[in-house]
Amino acid sequence: MRLTVQHVDGQRFLATEGEHTLVVDAAPEDGGGGTAMSAPQMFAAAVGACILEFVANSCRLREIPFERLGLELEYEELKSPRRIGPLEAVLHIEPEPPDDAKQRLVGVARHVTLVNTLKRPPEVAIRFAGE
């Protein structure tokens, strides 16, 4: 998989993977225009979306009906070093499933791709082109 990120202006960037493009803009307090989600906000959104993707698929596979599925994710940006602090996700499913189904779905949510990645972070290699 390959993703490219290009500077647009100020602190705004376009991230492209295949046919999909996403705008990222730093918060005004970080020198951005606030015209799109910041990278930390997108990170949190990606974790939330990953959780819901797995929960929705588990509901489908286990025939757990739902009309509405959502999630509230609380997090904070820590300053030293700059990073995302603890994440807390609260699932909302209507109609509310039985307690045993809720426990299974929370178990599924604890083992989604991005949560597993956070538990076992990848090494990040950074270099200049041509080196």
Q: Are residues 66 and 54 in the same domain?
A: yes
pLDDT single digits (tens) 73-99? 999 999 999 999 999 999 999 999 999
Q: Are residues 58 and 115 in the same domain?
A: yes
The low-confidence residues of the chain, meaning pLDDT below 50, are none
The CATH number of the domain holding residue 112 is 3.30.300.20
Q: Are residues 65 and 27 in the same domain?
A: no
The DSSP string of 31-74 is TS--SS--HHHHHHHHHHHHHHHHHHHHHHHTT---SEEEEEEE
Q: What token pair was written down for 105? A: 């779905």
Q: Are residues 31 and 55 in the same domain?
A: no
* Tally of domains in the chain: 2
- Its domain, for residue 66, covers 38-131
pLDDT for the residue 31: 93
pTM for the complete prediction?
A: 0.93
